């Protein structure tokens, strides 16, 4: 018979199982990679490129990268292009092996 003293201490109510915490970390990393990819695609497409007339000067290119990054993050939050899910699944398989 198992005695109460032999049982492991209970987990706090807020603690999640390790596999759920690991999945959350993998999903976050996959979403960050998709956002980085989308930001580069937006840059290649010319989003935030300095305008010829009435441009913002030297700092415009630096600050336009912040705009591209924010737009890419919002695109990922809205569902993205599916890259994050594919990356998540691939990383999950590799983390199990």
Structural domain spans, the chain: 17-45+61-97
Q: Per residue in 16-25, pLDDT tens?
A: 667 677 889 9
pLDDT tens profile 37-82 = 999 999 999 887 766 666 666 777 778 889 899 999 999 999 999 9
Predicted confidence at residue 38, as pLDDT, reads 96
Q: Are 39 and 67 in contact (CB under 8 A)?
A: no
Predicted pLDDT at 19: 66
pLDDT at residue 60, as a whole number: 76
Q: Please tell me the pTM assigned to this model.
A: 0.71
- Other beta carbons less than 10 A from residue 39's beta carbon: 23
Measured CA to CA, the distance from residue 52 to residue 31 in angstroms comes to 34
**DSSP of 22-63:** HHHHHHHHHHHHHHHHHHHHHHHTTTTPPPSSS---THHHHH
Per the structure block, which two tokens stand in for 39? 């930001």
């Amino acid at each position: 018979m198992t005695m109460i003293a032999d049982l492991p201490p209970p987990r706090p109510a807020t603690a999640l199982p390790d596999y759920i915490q690991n999945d959350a970390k993998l999903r976050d990393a996959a979403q960050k990679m998709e956002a980085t990819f989308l930001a580069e695609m937006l840059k290649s497409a010319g989003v935030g490129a300095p305008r010829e007339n009435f441009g913002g000067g030297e700092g415009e290119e630096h600050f336009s990268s912040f705009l591209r990054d924010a737009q890419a993050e919002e695109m990922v939050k809205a569902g993205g292009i599916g890259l994050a899910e594919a990356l998540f699944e691939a990383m999950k398989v590799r983390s199990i092996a």
